[in-house]
Amino acid sequence: MPTSHQPDSSVFGEAMHFFDAAAQRLNLTSSMYRILTHPSRQVIISIPFARDNGEFEVYTGYRVQYSSARGPGKGGIRYHPNVTLDEVTALAFWMTWKCAVVDLPFGGAKGGVTCDPNVLSLSELERLTRRYAADLIEIIGPDKDVPAPDVNTNPQTMAWIMDTVSMHLRAHTPAVVTGKPLNVGGSRGRVEATGRGVMIAIEAALEKMNKSLKGMRVVVQGFGNVGSISAKLLSDAGAKIVGISDVTGGYHNPKGIDIAAALEHANKSAHRTLDGFAADRVSNAQLLELDCDILVPAALENQLTEKNARKIKASLIAEGANGPTTPEADALLSEGGITVIPDILANAGGVTVSYFEWVQNRMGYYWREKEVNDRLRDLLRENFDVVWDTGKEYGTTLRGAAYVVAIKRVVDAYMTRGIYA
């Protein structure tokens, strides 16, 4: 089997590392390997839009549809000055395996606009978003590609996209995007879904290890949507949260942190941060190395590296963020006997409830929050069991097993459908 054709310095090149290991375990043919290592479609568009002062700006937008073998593309749209085609391609690649590992009928996609949303007014953001959506109207849709919020985009962004597409098609089309506000077709439970999925994955792993969550000491890096909700739900389930962090640094209390108080403090802060919260201050780097049973990196990528992997004291890591562990660190953590629930499994709760939203939009019938949460738990636990058993079968880590399961499902779809050539 050939090795990755992507340069190691690229984001996509780094993403290929775990894929290559799983592809070798599955003995992929050279032909299938070539298909799976090329995105189906990469779109680059210029987005002219009017600023409030009448001047026009032109930003660059991207949409990458990596695979549609199992269904429409699925993946977020991010607004950030550092968005590149390489980054968006890598994220679409990851979404392909994330959807497959939890057995959703979606392929992988991702989008982005190279801009700084912090310098744009609300009306400018709306005009930018509507022009971006209009330029993508031929390639997105409920049966083609279904975007969602990502970095610096939110439910309002999705509402603008839905409205733009609906106006062009002259038809109400709520299933064109997910992550919408509730009053225009969003799903109950979507905001908490990723954090809830992290908790469900942790509970499933502990059950396999014959352990209980009650009393477990947990450190959560990141106090955004994923980190704060994970911390709250884990605390409610009986765990002791001994460390949390955000952009202002880390906060440590070995006796346990009152997460409800931390959330109240952050919500009252002018900048919605933990700055000034009553706890021992540590750096974000020190936070990762605190004495604990469970570590949840839910902030940025590449936080666990070969420099700190041997200093990690947790016995279980659940990756709430995308790509928080480098390949070098992953190997060292495995050598140290630390179980890692990989990002494509641990943080798949968000895309799972996005799938539920898409289903509800197409039915025109909306579920109660308890039903959403119960369906989420059932789906994640069922597929966690598949990954765990696959790890035992192949003698590999949960990450290796997750990629084996995901790749096999995509390959099976390709082989059943046949390759149109």
Q: Tell me which residues are annotated as active site.
A: 110
Residue 320 backbone dihedrals phi, psi, to 5 degrees: -75, -30
- Whether 388 and 13 have beta carbons less than 8 Å apart is answered as no
**Distance (Å, rounded) from C-alpha 226 to C-alpha 220?**
10
**Distance (Å, rounded) from C-alpha 309 to C-alpha 313?**
9
Written as six digits, the tokens of 261 are 């108080």
Q: Give the SS3 label for residue 163.
A: helix
Strand partners, 114: 80
User: How crowded is the C-beta side of 29, counted as CA atoms within 13 Å?
Assistant: 7
> What does the radius of gyration of the chain's CA atoms come to, in whole angstroms?
21
Written as six digits, the tokens of 271 are 């900048």
**Distance (Å, rounded) from C-alpha 325 to C-alpha 328?**
8
- Whether 394 and 408 have beta carbons less than 8 Å apart is answered as no
Q: Give the SS3 label for residue 316.
A: strand
**Distance (Å, rounded) from C-alpha 171 to C-alpha 158?**
16
**Distance (Å, rounded) from C-alpha 193 to C-alpha 206?**
20
- Whether 136 and 107 have beta carbons less than 8 Å apart is answered as no
- Whether 299 and 227 have beta carbons less than 8 Å apart is answered as yes
Q: Give the SS3 label for residue 402.
A: helix
Residue 331 backbone dihedrals phi, psi, to 5 degrees: -65, -40
Q: Which of 127, 116, 113 is nearest to 53 (CA)?
A: 127
**Distance (Å, rounded) from C-alpha 402 to C-alpha 417?**
23
* CA dist 232 → 177, 195, 207, 258, 395 (Å): 28, 9, 20, 9, 34
Q: Give the SS3 label for residue 7.
A: coil
Residue 43 backbone dihedrals phi, psi, to 5 degrees: -115, 130
